[in-house]
Amino acid sequence: MDLRAIVRIAMRTLDRNKLRSALTMLGIIIGVGAVIAMLGVGQGAQKTMQDQIQAMGSNMLFVGSGTVTRGGMHLGWGSTKSLIYNDMLAILRECPAAKAAAPGSSSNAQVVFGNDNWQTRLNGTEPQYFKVRNWAFQEGSSFTQNDVDMSANVAVIGETVRKSLFGAADPLGQTIRVNNLPFRVTGVLTPKGTSSAMGDDQDDIILIPLTTLQKKVTGQPWLRWIMVSTESRQGSYVAQQQIASLLHDRHRIRPGDPDDFFVRNLADLADVADEAGRVMTLLLASIASVSLLVGGIGIMNIMLVSVTERTREIGIRISVGATEGNVQQQFLIEAVVLSLLGGILGILFGLLSSLVITQTLGWPILISPFVVLIAIAFSMTVGVFFGFYPARKAARLDPIEALRHG
């Protein structure tokens, strides 16, 4: 008997028991659908975290001023005054792996336009900051180096600040008041969203020339951070070592003494986020796979019932020349057909569930074709694994005892 004939017989057998077949497939449908939906959620979250880290800048290092302890209390990063503008110049001059660098300091600010006001983060930096951060403008442009040299009152605003102050109005050329100082808006940055690395809204920001911040807002000549970009991911690790060694020498830090700075590599954050995403995806898939296991047990149970019900049929087939292999193949294919049909319907159920999750909860979903192929292969494997024992039991029935049955 050829394979096509066996498949036709299997389909007719399943068709005779539509309700039982449908209920048996339900376990596989739910299991495959749950696996696809959970893998989609996990991979979507993983990609979102990676995109957020990439949005902070490509192959970037964050050099920050360190912490000090006063009265037994750690004051947190940015509390030392040791990081200065000449450190940035030295990094560009003496660290070959560093491609570009932007200095900066920051403060909180109350910004007012018309009858609206907003509490936001105020960063002072230089024009190359936007290149280092790989941050484009949706309208307008950056302030210039001449603005930095002249300590001009000009500002670039993020999307959150634009929405909060201007709504649908055009902010370019408008004057806003930042801590009671007037600033002319020269540009609006493209949205970057929430940073999973820092945990804040990257678009809730106003950027002004560094000298303007230092002279007119904070009165602090030192830096809170320096952002450094490199040519490649591997180059960022080389630059990290070069910068740490350079600042140890420049700040005269002795071996064993605590650093008054830190160097954070965003590649490390990306690796941590990637590993966390993989663990979460595997955890979700493992939980969903329990449904597949239950569905497989259901297939085995129904196939065992089918063997009992069709004992006389099996005896007749063996008596007219069917081999043990033919009988075993017949029942095994029935189990595979059940699981395969359930797998296909489960894929549709998983895609529909993913769409519902995205629309109702707003969670990002990413389903790759590879996941769908794995789901189909896994459902077939479940059919073979859980159908093997009933098929083997059917093939080993004694034909004489089988003919007496029923």
- Tell me the per-residue pLDDT of 332-364, one tens digit each, with 9 for 90 and over: 777 788 888 888 888 888 888 888 877 787 777
Beta strands in 194-247 (DSSP E): 205-209, 225-230
pLDDT at residue number 404: 62
Q: For 57-82, how does the pLDDT look when each residue is reduced to its tens digit (9 = 90+)?
A: 558 899 988 765 544 454 455 556 88
Which two three-digit tokens encode residue 264? 């954070």
Q: What is the rounded CA–CA span in Å between residue 148 and residue 125?
A: 8
Give the count of beta carbons closer than 10 Å to the beta carbon of residue 224. 21
What is the per-residue pLDDT across 158-213, written as a single tens digit (0 to 9) for each? 999 999 999 889 999 999 999 889 999 999 999 987 754 455 788 999 999 999 99
Rounded mean pLDDT, 319-323: 70
pLDDT-above-90 percentage for the chain: 32
Angle at 167 between CA 166 and CA 173, to 5 degrees: 30
- Three-state DSSP class for 314? helix
- Residue 53: per-residue pLDDT: 60
Q: Summarize the confidence of residues 278-305 as an average pLDDT.
A: 74
| pLDDT attached to residue 51 | 65
Neighbours of 181 (CB within 10 A): 15
- pLDDT bucket at 244, cuts 50 / 70 / 90: very high
Beta-carbon count within 10 A of 114 CB: 10
pLDDT above 80: residue 304: no
Classify burial at 377, counting beta carbons within 10 Å of its beta carbon; exposed 0-12, middle 13-18, buried 19 or more.
exposed
pLDDT interval class at 270 (50, 70, 90): low
The helix/strand/coil state of 255 is coil
What residues pair up with 123 in beta bridges, in sequence order?
106, 207
pLDDT exceeds 70 at position 227: yes
The residue behind tokens 């670039």 is 156
- 405: which residues sit within 8 A by CB, 6+ positions away? 311, 312, 315
pLDDT(217) > 90: yes
Range with the lowest mean pLDDT among 18-22, 136-140, 157-161, 175-179?
A: 18-22
Task: Convert the pLDDT of each residue in 97-108 to its tens digit.
Answer: 999 999 999 999
pLDDT at 356: 84
User: In whole angstroms, what is the distance from residue 10 CA to residue 1 CA?
Assistant: 13
C-alpha–C-alpha distance, residues 286 and 35, integer Å: 8
Mean pLDDT across 324-338: 76
Mean pLDDT for all residues in the chain: 81
Least confident of 202-206, 230-234, 235-239, 273-277: 273-277
